[in-house]
Amino acid sequence: MNYYSTNKKTSAVSLQEAVVKGLAADKGLFMPATVETLPQEFYDSIDTLSFQETAFRVAEAFFGEDVPADVLRQIVCDTLNFDVPLVRVTEDVYSLELFHGPTLAFKDVGARFMARLLGYFIRKERHGQVDVLVATSGDTGSAVANGFLGVEGIRVHVLYPQGKVSEIQEKQFTTLGRNITAIEVDGTFDDCQALVKAAFMDEELNRHLSLTSANSINVARFLPQAFYYFYAYAQLKRIGKAQNVVVCVPSGNFGNITAGLFAKKMGLPVKRFIAANNRNDIFYRYLQTGTYTPRPSIATIANAMDVGDPSNFARIIDLYGNSHAAITADISGATYTDEQIRETVAQTWRTSGYLLDPHGACGYRALSESLQPGETGIFLETAHPAKFLETVEGIVGERVEVPAKLQAFMKGEKRSLPMHKDFASFKRYLLSL
């Protein structure tokens, strides 16, 4: 399948080129030329399929023309070696727990898939060294770094905003070493993302290095996130609750909800989506006004959503033909302050015994406030609460158990490279590799 740019000022490319390049030459994001509607028999029998088998059927629709079936199946099975359970919180509200992977965050799915797909292409073409650039506001860095750790022929450079990620998140990508370098930028996530995009557009850098991105701007990172929307529906179907399904997604850079929208385009029976924001409410304002006005991000306790110019907005616009009416027909929005997030974590813990992380709290609250009679709601619990230990313990007033996986990361020694947010500094670093 070919992949075209959202800016439509350059020729379409193969899957391999889209994955290796990350960003199109005209600065647009790659989109699949077609979005295949999966057959009804798939949906009729989806509740009998395993997570891996469900994901393989979805993966075939995007990658099957370019990757042999046995290779693709192996990539899917290697990626999804953990569960994504649907957990009941209230009568009609369920949490899709996406934190059972190696770094306890939803990005394990996309990052692990991309690492394996990129590794396949590198081996296939006997490609030289590839440098992966990734900006993170929290969980992307850890998922990508651990997904690519030790992969031959790939160096990973994780850019993150100094002092704006949790200690546990930071330890997950600054303690690894080997082929992973953590770059601590004196700025915001948006500054980090701007540095990555500028590097892709710099002719001199691209003559010297083979650069790609592992942010959700890369098709191999964001498309696999569609897998768990199908699996969530399958789990609802098993318990007879798969009618009038509403899905609420805590949203920052909008790769996660975009993957869900692709799932809907493929025929997944989702009635509507809700995009839950923290105070960085750029998309919420777009839904209300029809005008997209990016602005500098604001630091919040739901830090992975602290994005002032979501990259994947371009994909949503493209997917819906630039129609505000079509977008608002499928997606509504909500926005919450830190105080409201704390209130939601505390109240949910008291009333149901379910512990939310700050991002999941936005999703749970938005869903609870808008769910209509006869609807079944799913919100995405995108990271384990212990990744925000100080914040969550301060809210609930109790000690939160830290999983063994996180404890192991915390024992490591932080190693990072300080970096100014100006592009000249970043470019000098890359040219020195």
User: Mind listing the pLDDT tens digit for each residue in 232-268?
Assistant: 999 999 999 999 999 999 999 999 999 999 999 999 9
Top-tier CATH class for 81-104+221-400: alpha beta
- Overall average pLDDT of the 56-85 stretch: 97
95-148: pLDDT as tens digits: 999 999 999 999 999 999 999 998 898 888 766 789 999 999 777 888 899 999
User: What pLDDT score does 192 carry?
Assistant: 95
pLDDT band of residue 412 (cuts 50, 70, 90) is very high
Task: Calculate ∠ Cα 112-114-118, nearest 5°.
Answer: 125
- Overall average pLDDT of the 276-280 stretch: 97
Q: What is the DSSP string of 118-172?
A: HHHHHHHHT---EEEEEE-SSHHHHHHHHHHTT-TTEEEEEEEETT-S-HHHHHH
Higher pLDDT, 27 or 278: 278
- Domain parsing of the chain, residue ranges: 81-104+221-400, 129-209+403-432
Domains 81-104+221-400 and 129-209+403-432 share a fold: yes
- Overall average pLDDT of the 266-276 stretch: 98
Q: Which residues are part of the catalytic machinery?
A: 107
Strand order in the sheet with 130-135: 211-213, 130-135, 154-161, 180-185, 417-419
Residue 270 tokens, joined: 């989702």
User: What pLDDT score does 389 carry?
Assistant: 93
User: What pLDDT score does 4 carry?
Assistant: 97
User: What pLDDT score does 127 carry?
Assistant: 63
User: What pLDDT score does 258 carry?
Assistant: 97
- Overall average pLDDT of the 354-379 stretch: 97
- Cα distance between residue 173 and residue 149, in whole Å: 10
Question: Mean pLDDT over all residues of the chain?
Answer: 94
Helix (H) or strand (E) holding 378: strand 376-381
Number of residues that make up the chain: 433
- Cα distance between residue 260 and residue 249, in whole Å: 9
Q: For the chain, count helices (H), then strands (E).
A: 20, 13
> Which residues contact residue 357 at a Cβ distance below 8 angstroms, ignoring those fewer than 6 apart?
99, 345, 381, 382, 383, 384, 385, 387, 388, 392
Is it true that domain 129-209+403-432 has CATH number 3.40.50.1100?
yes
Residue labelled with tokens 């926005």: 335
pLDDT band of residue 215 (cuts 50, 70, 90) is confident
pLDDT band of residue 20 (cuts 50, 70, 90) is confident
> Which residues contact residue 390 at a Cβ distance below 8 angstroms, ignoring those fewer than 6 apart?
166, 167
Residue 46 has pLDDT above 80, yes or no: yes
> Which residues contact residue 4 at a Cβ distance below 8 angstroms, ignoring those fewer than 6 apart?
12, 30, 31, 33
Residue 374 exposed, middle or buried by CB count within 10 Å (0-12, 13-18, 19+): exposed
User: What pLDDT score does 122 carry?
Assistant: 83
Percent of the chain scoring above 90 in pLDDT: 85
Residue 409 has pLDDT above 80, yes or no: yes
- Cα distance between residue 321 and residue 27, in whole Å: 19
